[in-house]
Amino acid sequence: MTQPQGGLRGWFAARRGRTTRLSRLRFTSLRLRLVVVFGAVALTAAVSASGIAYWLNREAVLSRTQGAVLRDFEQEMQNRAGSLPEHPSQDELQHTAGQMATSSQRFSVLLVGADAGGTTVYGNSGGLSGFSLEDVPESLRTAVNRQQDVTAGNKSPYHLYWQRVVDDGTPYLVAGTRVLGGGPTGYMRKSLEPEADDLNSLAWSLGIATGLALIGAALLAQAAATTVLKPVHRLGVAARRLGEGRLDTRLRVSGTDELADLSRTFNRTAEALEKRVDDMAARDNASRRFVADMSHELRTPLTAITAVTEVLEEELDAESGSIDPMIEPAVRLVVSETRRLNDLVENLMEVTRFDAGTARLVLDDVDVVDQITHCIDARAWLDAVDLDAERGIYALLDPRRLDVILANLIGNALKHGGSPVRVSVSKADDAAVVISVRDHGPGIPEEVLPHVFDRFYKASASRPRSEGSGLGLSIALENAHIHGGGITAANSPEGGAVFTLRLPQDNAELTDPDGEDVVEDGEVVGGQGEKAVQDKGEA
């Protein structure tokens, strides 16, 4: 069965993309780059040196051989060919060519002359199958037979000329000259194959030397890379440990080079960072302890004050009118501010529990819609909130903390947005419960959106004082986080702000493994499988 052409193209494109990414990742290695650079430098140097050495040796070998052959040929032309008559016969040329070929250089000889009848005759050292005029390049023959003017700088009308040629893969040295004063023209051919073999052996030797130099450079680069990269690797490991919070990480320093200076700088930086973090942690712990202690200390007088304000509030609501109308506004102000202060202290204590990491979950398998309905009923929000959900969506959650989240989100929407507030519940594909709270207000300014969950953040600088403590949304977000979920804030395209709560349905891994009751601030708030005591849940 054949694969569609488009699928094949996609497969090859994917493989090319993976190969490109792998090659790009591999070449980013500093070790590889060092080896490549060392190898390139060594290869360039070795090839340059080998090329220069080969060229110098080649010229030396050929010049030495060529000089010896040409001197011998010129001497033979003067001694033997010069003794021939002006119009020699073919036998005389043949005999003289054979004698010239027996010189120490062992070259082939061709003599060309004109007999008494004006006929061109030839004589060579190898007989009919030997060196012939066709083996001489035409340009060389033209140069040899060209007569030049005799001047003060040129005392001879004819000169010796030579040329290197290749015949059937074999290099030859071909030379020619004429006998001065009349006589035959002589040509010589000498095989340069022995010299070529020597030069080939030299080229192979230089190539092997270049390869060995390249291997040596790669090994040297590997050793250098190891020497350089080992401290860098240790520095990288130490930096990762430092980034993971292990501020006591230090490097062992040895040597006086730049890497040693870098290690010392890292150690000084890590020491300064550790000291700074310790100082900040100490100040943060002191600040948290102060808030916690202050909150605990305020609870006792607040309890008494709350009892008194409750009595005053009952007197205000009584029909007897025992409260002087002149001081009634002041009494109502004391009552409202006492409630606000009590909520602020409770919120501060909740924040300190989150900061200290002592907040615990008391999980129960609850119907999410029932919990939302209970939250709305308990605060008399039935007329201002529309619930769009069906019962039967269950999740393993902490009912008390879910009530706190819902109270803060719905209360914030009613206070700053406007009714009706619409609450919808749905199930996500990733086994999560999604609760959306949308109001019909003007929405949240874009510059405020990133800060809506910040503690004590006020959207309007002109209204630094409001009924809320500025901690409600922050506490709601912390309660969502402790469930393994989160809250996001955005503006609806249809108008108004939308807060979306996402909580996992199954939080079994967050359950106390001992199944014991969880105690917060000395009060039992519930146990495994029980419903926790409900807070007010207001921001």
Same domain, 386 and 416: yes
Instruction: List, for the chain, all residue ranges whose pLDDT scores fall below the cut of 70.
Output: 1-30, 127-129, 291-292, 295, 318-322, 355-356, 358, 458-469, 507-539
Catalogue the long-range contacts made by 490-494 (C-beta closer than 8 Å, 24 or more residues apart): 490/449, 491/443, 491/444, 491/449, 492/438, 492/443
Secondary structure string (H, E, C) spanning 180-219? CCCCCEEEEEEECHHHHHHHHHHHHHHHHHHHHHHHHHHH
* Cα distance between residue 204 and residue 198, in whole Å: 10
* Cα distance between residue 284 and residue 266, in whole Å: 26
The predicted-structure confidence for 293-351, as pLDDT tens digits, reads as follows: 776 777 778 777 878 777 777 777 765 566 777 777 887 788 777 777 777 777 777 77
Characterize the bridge pairing of strands 421-427 and 385-388. parallel
- Phi, psi for residue 138 in degrees, rounded to 5: -65, -35
Same domain, 318 and 383: no
Same domain, 272 and 334: yes
* Cα distance between residue 231 and residue 264, in whole Å: 12
Same domain, 407 and 482: yes
Same domain, 411 and 270: no
Residue 369 contacts residue 395 (beta carbons within 8 Å): no
* Cα distance between residue 530 and residue 512, in whole Å: 13
**What 3-state DSSP class applies to 21?**
helix
- Phi, psi for residue 438 in degrees, rounded to 5: -125, 135
Please count the other Cβ atoms lying within 10 Å of the Cβ belonging to residue 305. 16
What's residue 501's pLDDT? 92
* Cα distance between residue 110 and residue 87, in whole Å: 16
The predicted-structure confidence for 343-354, as pLDDT tens digits, reads as follows: 777 777 777 777
Same domain, 127 and 86: yes
The predicted-structure confidence for 40-66, as pLDDT tens digits, reads as follows: 888 888 888 888 888 888 888 888 888
Characterize the bridge pairing of strands 120-124 and 364-367. unpaired
In a domain, 135, yes or no: yes
What's residue 440's pLDDT? 85
Domain extent for 308 = 258-340
In a domain, 280, yes or no: yes
Same domain, 370 and 515: yes
Same domain, 272 and 133: no
In a domain, 91, yes or no: yes
In a domain, 433, yes or no: yes
* Cα distance between residue 168 and residue 174, in whole Å: 15
Same domain, 479 and 515: yes
Same domain, 187 and 310: no
Examine the fold and report which residue of 135, 169, 191 is the final residue of a domain before the chain moves on. 191
In a domain, 60, yes or no: no
Examine the fold and report which residue of 308, 340, 372 is the final residue of a domain before the chain moves on. 340
Q: Domain containing 130 — which CATH number?
A: 3.30.450
* Cα distance between residue 437 and residue 28, in whole Å: 49
Q: How many domains does the chain have?
A: 3
In a domain, 64, yes or no: no
- pTM for this predicted structure: 0.45
Same domain, 144 and 290: no
Same domain, 323 and 412: no
In a domain, 13, yes or no: no
In a domain, 223, yes or no: no
